[in-house]
Amino acid sequence: MSLVTSERMLLDAQKGSYAVGAFNVENMEMVKAVIQAAEEMKAPVMLQTTPSTVKYGTLETYFALVAAEAKKASVPVCLHLDHGNSFELAVLAMKVGYTSVMIDGSHEDFENNIAVTKKVVDVAKAVGIPVEAELGKVGGKEDDLEAEADTNTDPEEAREFVERTGVSSLAIAIGTAHGFYAGTPVLDKERVSKVKEVVSVPLVLHGASGLSDEDVRECVQRGMCKVNFATELRVAYTDAGKKLIQEKPETFDPKKLGVVGIEAVKELVKGRMKVCGCDGKAY
- What is the rounded CA–CA span in Å between residue 59 and residue 234? 19
**pLDDT beyond 90 at 112:** yes
Q: 279 labelled as ligand-binding?
A: no
Residue 182 has what pLDDT? 54
The average pLDDT across 114-123 equals: 98
Q: 228 labelled as ligand-binding?
A: yes
Helix (H) or strand (E) holding 68: helix 59-72
Place 143 in a pLDDT band, splitting at 50, 70 and 90. low
- What is the rounded CA–CA span in Å between residue 9 and residue 13? 6
Catalytic residue among 82, 150, 154, 279: 82
Residue 186 has what pLDDT? 75
Q: 80 labelled as ligand-binding?
A: no
- Please indicate whether residue 253 is annotated as part of the active site: no
Q: What is the pLDDT of residues 185-236, one digit of tens each?
A: 778 999 999 999 999 999 999 988 889 999 999 999 999 999 999 999 999 9
Q: 230 labelled as ligand-binding?
A: yes
Q: List the beta strands (DSSP E) in 169-282.
A: 169-172, 177-178, 203-205, 224-229
- What is the rounded CA–CA span in Å between residue 17 and residue 246? 43
Task: Count Cα atoms within 13 angstroms, Cβ side, for 84.
Answer: 25
Q: 24 labelled as ligand-binding?
A: no
| Domain 7-234+266-276, CATH | 3.20.20.70
Q: pTM of the predicted model, to two decimals?
A: 0.92
> Could you tell me how far CA 261 lies from the centroid of its own chain?
20
Q: Which residues of 57-96 are buried (b: 16+ CB within 10 A; e: fewer)?
A: bebeebbebbbebbeebebbbbbbbbbbbebebbbbbbeb
